[in-house]
Structure 1
Amino acid sequence: MSTTQSERLRALLEPLVAKAGLELEEVKVSAAGNRRQLLVVVDADEGVHLDTLAEVSREFSQALDASDAMGDAEYLLEVTSPGTDRPLTEPRHFRRNTGRLVKLQLKERGELIARIMTVDDSGLDLEVPGVKGRKPKPARADFAEIARARVEIEFNRKAGEDQAAEGDESTEEA
């Protein structure tokens, strides 16, 4: 039984990702002009720091050069963390976005925009924002009923509103 290039790449890179305390989200090979591009997406519960991306990128490069997983042709390696536009498909994606506003397409109920309050094994506890000064309402969505989900970018979120959920900004000690 033959394995695909993507499977071989995952097998090569996954131990390096785990060693760095990250999770391998995606491995994608595509054409980029005369050469190929290898896109590797990694993530972690607390987010991924730029220094960590640089370190795993160097390790990936060394491992790929030492193997034949990409063949002899030139390729461009891109190592990144998921963007806010990526679909939320796994329970860990929802857990990592607790406190954020999401747009859910529910199989039976249609579209729902709500803030993720908690995530458990079966689904999400949500808070639907109130309209025109009304109070927010609690809601529940089980994973089985979610057809699609994405984070909604909030440009007008008031300062002090659940900033612990913002997670994108990190503080570094000098």
Structure 2
Amino acid sequence: MPVPTEERVVALLSDLVHGKGFDLEGVTVVSAGKHSAVKIMVDREEGIDLDALPALSRDIAEAFDGVSDFGDAPYTLEVTTPGIDRPLTEDRHWRRARGRSVRIELADEKFDGRVGHLDGQSVTVVTRTKGVLATRTVELSKVIKAVVQVEFSRPKADEMELAGGVVGGRPAPADSDEIVNVETPEEGSDK
């Protein structure tokens, strides 16, 4: 495959990926001699299960095979989700990170907090300083960098409650036997 530009891959795949219910988070194209590599990063609101990526990968490969400007040279196609080290740059990234620990860098400070509700152009962040919990509002336009942090223990229930509760599919807080504010389908519904 002649090395397509990232812009060409985005143009080719945007409608396909969105039509399958995913957000196209990034495209990387690398030429390695006669063998190219194309990495497609996707995400979606409800998360991605292991069966979804192979099916999407097949659809993307078919789209590549259906265009003539990619040629016949071998290439490696990787369809993946963004890693935990992906910066939070879009509103949807902040929404998906609700309840997670994040390191935020502003012009004059860096701090760790737990992502709360996104409200227009700002996000509520739960901080803990010397054992005292507080919330603060951070304007997204002032964030230089924000990255989800790896946590090796379950979050504290009081932090999660201030952050707006547990987002579906995430573990319950460490000092709570029940999940706080989880939205679940009503019994008997087909959701």
TM-score (norm 1): 0.84
Greater RCO, 1 or 2 (C-alpha within 8 Å, sep 6+): 1
Deviation at 1:16, TM superposition (A): 1.3
User: Is 2:116 the partner of 1:117?
Assistant: yes
Structure 2 residue runs of 5 or longer lacking an equivalent are: 172-191
Pairing 1:10-159 to 2, within 5 Å after superposition: 10-32=10-32, 34-108=34-108, 110-131=109-130, 134-158=131-155
Give 4+ residue runs of structure 1 displaced > 6 Å after superposition: none
Alignment partner, residue 172 of structure 1: none
Q: Structure 2 counterpart of 1:153, which letter?
A: V
Structure 1 residue runs of 5 or longer lacking an equivalent are: 170-174
Alignment partner, residue 181 of structure 2: none
**CA RMSD between the two structures:** 2.2
TM-score (norm 2): 0.77
Identical-pair percentage: 35
Deviation at 1:70, TM superposition (A): 3.0
CA offsets, 1:75-132, max 9 Å, x none? 1000001111111111111111001110000113x1010001111221110110242x
Q: Structure 1 counterpart of 2:132, which letter?
A: K
Q: Structure 1 147/34 Cα, relative in aligned 2: closer, same or farther at 3 Å? A: same
Q: Structure 1 75/11 Cα, relative in aligned 2: closer, same or farther at 3 Å? A: same
